[in-house]
Amino acid sequence: MKQENASGENTSSPITRRAALTATAGGLVSSMVSTQVTAQRSNRLLWETEIGGDVYSSPTVIDGSVFIGSQGDTGLHTLDVQNGEQQWIIDRGYNVKSSPAVAGGKVFFGDNNTSLNLAFDVDTGRYDWLHQTETGVESSPTVVNGTVFIGNNDGNLYA
């Protein structure tokens, strides 16, 4: 992924989720344990969106969309990064503490049911497939070379 450093030069080194968030959205999305997602830059609030449940997951920002899970309303939300308007929601009926990962046009996340919810289309939210586990999935997935890795409350790492 290309990113610009402080002097405007392009770099091509691997970056962390937090650095990707900063590079993609100018560092403007944040969340905390509340029912709101806020966006701010330079101590100025840009937008705030009520999503209906406590937010434990970290947001993932890709191509102008913010992906974030919540509790209470039990969904994975996709918001417009510029204005916070909801694009779509995946309501699984279970709390989503897992921070979503996005790769290959799919969004990956876990929920407190017994499944790692995999392969929802990033543009439409359309379901593709999931993997059943022994207990709820609260950890956040990582995707490398087309393989999804995620730890689970049952003591296993799945790939």
Per-residue pLDDT of the chain (159 residues; tens, 9 = 90+): 333 444 445 444 443 444 444 444 444 454 444 556 667 667 788 888 888 788 888 999 998 999 998 887 768 889 999 999 999 888 878 888 889 999 999 999 888 876 666 668 888 878 887 888 888 888 899 999 989 898 888 888 988
* Sign of the four-CA dihedral 21, 63, 12, 15: positive
Contacts of 91 (CB under 8 A, 6+ apart): 73, 74, 75
Token digits of residue 65? 């969309």
* pLDDT at residue 136, as a whole number: 83
* CA dist., res. 159 & res. 150, Å (int): 7
Residue among 9, 96, 3 nearest 54 (CA): 96
* CA dist., res. 113 & res. 95, Å (int): 8
* pLDDT at residue 41, as a whole number: 67
* pLDDT at residue 154, as a whole number: 85
* CA dist., res. 53 & res. 40, Å (int): 20
pTM summary value: 0.72
